[in-house]
Structure 1
Amino acid sequence: MVSLIAAVPATEDAATHVMAEPALIWTGVVTDMVTGLSFLAILAALVTLAFRRGDVPLGWPLWCFVKFLMAYGLVHLLAAWSPWQAVPVLETALRIIATLFGVASAVTAWALLPRAAALPRAQAMVELRGQLAAVSAERDGAVAQLRQETEQRRQTEIALVHAKKLEAAGQLTGGIAHDFNNLLQAIAGNLELIARRADDPDRVVRWSASALDAVERGRAVTGQLLAFSRRQQSVSGPVRLVELIGGVRELAERAVAPLAQVAVEPIDTSWNVQVDALQLELAILNLAFNAREAMPDGGVLTLSAERARGSVPAELTSGEYIALHLTDTGRGMSAEAVSRALEPLSFQQEDAGPGGMGLSMASEVLRRMGGAMTVESREGEGTRVTLYLPVAKSEPPRAAIEEQFSDVRVDLNGITVALVDDDAQVRATIAETLAAAGARVIEAGSGPDGVALVEAEAPDILIVDFAMPGMSGAEVAGHVRERRVDLPILVATGFADAPNLERVHGARPALLRKPFDSNELLRRVNELLGRHF
């Protein structure tokens, strides 16, 4: 339209010619108008795309093309208006701008052509999706295999831990047997003296106390062995560190015997730690075995403690800690062995020196208790293992030893007690104790007989031994509770199989640790019956 007008001479004849062709003029106006609006519509679509897909890197080539479309759209709109009012300067300026951006867009298009040609075709995209799916499936298979291998490794660790404990138990057997022979000798000797001088009350009391003291020492030893075998329940709580170290010292001395010794430096009696006492004793005992391996020609394992100040292991949360040090005078470890000492199953103990399974086991025990462990060592200079124990926020309960042996008067008149124990001598002793307090005692020598006895007699309380052939005490309690959910049950045991007891219906049966004295038995029965002294 504009070019058409420009080609006609600016004379009256030209004007007459233009006016004589109105159809031609309106055709040009309409086409310029539609073309200009089309340019601007394309421009609007591109701008909308750019804002909606901000993640697509369109960049400056897009904006060159946008400006080219804007300029030429305006040029065509001005051309459509020029038959009535021409604006030649503005139209020329817009043409120049449009030309510049058109050239820029053309250059950009050719520059982007290789990249555009390299884009994958639809079939290639389908193939890529297939390859991605295959890789994903392979990854899922690898993850599943990794989980399986992790579980196998965990099972292997458990098996090795048990093997390590069996080895340690074998090493302790000699010393434990010697101690128990001494305890049995003390008990037998005192009982023999009581039998000979039963008419001398003062001496009988003294000899009885001596025999009971031997029983208590035997109970302490079996408690440590049960802790070592993890067959006895234990709960994390406040513990006096000096008492714990004093209790585990004997086992540690047997662990390093016969060539090495154990030295314990003074520990502040006010230090209380929040730990699982039995598991901590197990960790210390494992470290003692490792120290002995590091001192084949003899040496000293020193236990000391101090407040943890300054830097502590990064995995610890903020709080107060006691640092318990176990330092041996053995052959030490290399820097590589120290760096890998706490890794479970990373390498065999004989390669690591005084480390291996003992250190990794102890480290895991400390981690579960909210503590941590570090190892410092140099070849030829010994090893120092530090256990970081969280400080307890409350005082440990004090054992009422005097009350345990006090003359407690318990009246069980009118109470029927069902007693189930496969050991006739133990059953007779317990029955006599209960009968002396006024109870009516009905007895059974096996689990099935005990269940039948409870059903027939409807006792007020059931006392059952845990370890019995055929049907255990936990199974007896389970059968009884199916019919009498509220019946008080007292399980007498030398060890506790907690999962079995947890499955008993109703309230969890109470436990009475063997060996126990008559006063402790009567107190527990009174407690379960809800009676008071």
Structure 2
Amino acid sequence: SISDEVRTRETAREVDTRAILVVPFVRDGRLHSIVYLNARAPRQWDPEDIAFMEELAERTRLVIERDAVEHQLRELNASLEYRVEERTRDLQQAQEALLQSQKMEAVGQLVAGMAHDFNNVLASVIGAFNLILRRPDDPARVQRFAEEGAQAAEKGAKLTGQLMAFSRSQQIQLRPLLVCDVIENMEELLVRTLGPLIKIERQLNPNPAPVMADATQVEMMILNLAINARDAMPDGGTLTISTSKHRFTRDAELADGEYIELAVSDSGIGMDEETLRRAMEPFFTTKPVGQGTGLGLAQIYGSARQAGGTVRIESVRGVGTAVRVYLPCTQQSPARLNSGWTPEEGIIDLPPLRVLLVDDDDRLRSVLSEGLADHGHLVIVAGNGSEALSLIERETPQIAVLDFAMPGMNGAVLAQQIAARLPNLPIIFVSGYADTASIKNAAGDNATILQKPFELDRLISAMKMVWSRVER
């Protein structure tokens, strides 16, 4: 019998097998497959036939095994690509979380100085109103103290705006920027953080060159280095922030090319050789427990390396320390940093309009309503989204001004409900929160947003801008 297996015997009968030469493929001690030569007449297989079949079987085995290996490699490659992408996402999220943690730690340093300034602001505003209330029938006096109170309130708005802008969560994005711009925008922030005992000197490159970096990371570099310098000068001293351009060739860390040096130096106590050697180690700190994480310089070094640069430290005990951050120059043109609302020129004048004003703060709603009415507009006011939707059923507005953060129905949801009824109604969002990205995520990238607090003129400018886009 050719085989004990029924299926094999049936196959042999179908192909009329009279003689068969079989070469098995065995892998890991188990039969994997066979190659056979079939003859329809009885015969004896000679050595040449056997050698030919063995060669054919070996070549076939190699092809099959190579295909199996290639298949495994393709699966492994796909798995590795997925794991690398997943790991990259995890690392980026961890880096962004670490940056935000560092920012929050620095915010604690900012609050103490800002609290003092903000108390001065409140004292000025309260004092101005008290003086107005004492003699409200004296127009010149009312005018003078009203202006002083307004100026003090603007200063308070600037204080909170700086703190909120600094503390907001952002994704890390490398873009062309001027380090000088970042330093100039942080000037008041640094003055309040470092206190009156620290004199700040700036030596900025008069011909700045753009670098490829993340603006928030550069802010954190400057602030962390400034705080470290302040702590190294407990009795006061001079902090110097400078920028300059350097060319590196054959450097151990840096690719050949031009770099901007951001240097922060102090006249403090300096570091000994052991401290200097370990300064950029993660979690290494000379500060008391609870006053530092030891991640500041490590984070600065990591950010600089991510941008293609590096960090170098010079320090002499009893003389001071200089930390130099090198960031690669770029040929791309930077967008100049701007923190304020700039009304567009050439926008048409506003006619008297019906304005839907929705805000859950009674006092703010009242003040804005009166201000818009003084400009000749008819204001429809609502304290929440449901009330606003009821009002537009009875009267159709021409512009809507919506607070974003409201209980029950926020501004984005309300805007969607309004758009379903009045699809062409221009909408302005106002918000006291720094994270405008969340508003744009909810309301779209083209949303017009005003940060609270704002002057009435800025609201009027925003209304002019959105009204100029309306097709009439």
Residue identity in the other structure for 2:201: V
Match of 1:158 among 83, 89, 96: 96
Aligned to 1:497: 436
SS in 2 for 1:430: helix
Gapped runs of 5+ residues in structure 2?
1-56
Aligned to 1:425: 363
Distance 1:215 1:237 in 2: 34
Gapped runs of 5+ residues in structure 1?
1-119, 405-409
2:202 counterpart of 1:265:
yes
SS in 1 for 2:363: helix
Aligned to 1:382: 321
Residue identity in the other structure for 1:263: I
* TM-fit CA distance, 1:306: 4.1
Using CA pairs under 8 Å that are at least 6 residues apart, name the structure with larger relative contact order, 1 or 2. Answer: 2
SS in 1 for 2:323: strand
**1:324/1:367 CA distance change after superposition, 3 Å:** same
Q: Could you tell which deviates more after superposition, 451-460 or 391-400?
A: 391-400
Correspondence 1:96-495 to 2 at 5 A: 121-122=58-59, 125=62, 126=64, 130=68, 137=75, 141=79, 144-230=82-168, 241=180, 245-256=183-194, 261-267=198-204, 280-292=218-230, 295=232, 300=237, 302-311=239-248, 323-328=261-266, 329=268, 331-332=270-271, 341=280, 347-350=282-285, 357-359=295-297, 361-362=299-300, 372-378=309-315, 380=317, 382-386=321-325, 388=327, 414-494=352-432, 495=434
Residue identity in the other structure for 1:431: S
Distance 1:463 1:164 in 2: 36
> If each structure's helix is expressed as a fraction of its own residues, which one has the higher value?
1
Match of 2:454 among 516, 519, 523: 516
> If each structure's strand is expressed as a fraction of its own residues, which one has the higher value?
2
* TM-fit CA distance, 1:512: 1.8
**1:165/1:204 CA distance change after superposition, 3 Å:** same
TM-score after normalising by structure 1: 0.60
* TM-fit CA distance, 1:249: 3.4
SS in 1 for 2:453: coil
Residue identity in the other structure for 2:313: E
SS in 1 for 2:241: strand
CA RMSD across the alignment: 4.8
Correspondence 1:1-150 to 2 at 5 A: 121-122=58-59, 125=62, 126=64, 130=68, 137=75, 141=79, 144-150=82-88
Q: Aligned residues, how many?
A: 399
Distance 2:80 2:171 in 1: 39
**1:466/1:398 CA distance change after superposition, 3 Å:** closer
TM-score after normalising by structure 2: 0.67
Aligned to 2:12: none
Residue identity in the other structure for 1:159: A
Q: Is the 8 A contact 1:416 1:461 kept in 2?
A: yes
Residue identity in the other structure for 2:439: N
Distance 1:270 1:395 in 2: 16
Distance 2:205 2:145 in 1: 35
Distance 2:406 2:201 in 1: 42
* TM-fit CA distance, 1:234: 12
Q: Is the 8 A contact 1:422 1:445 kept in 2?
A: yes
* TM-fit CA distance, 1:515: 1.5
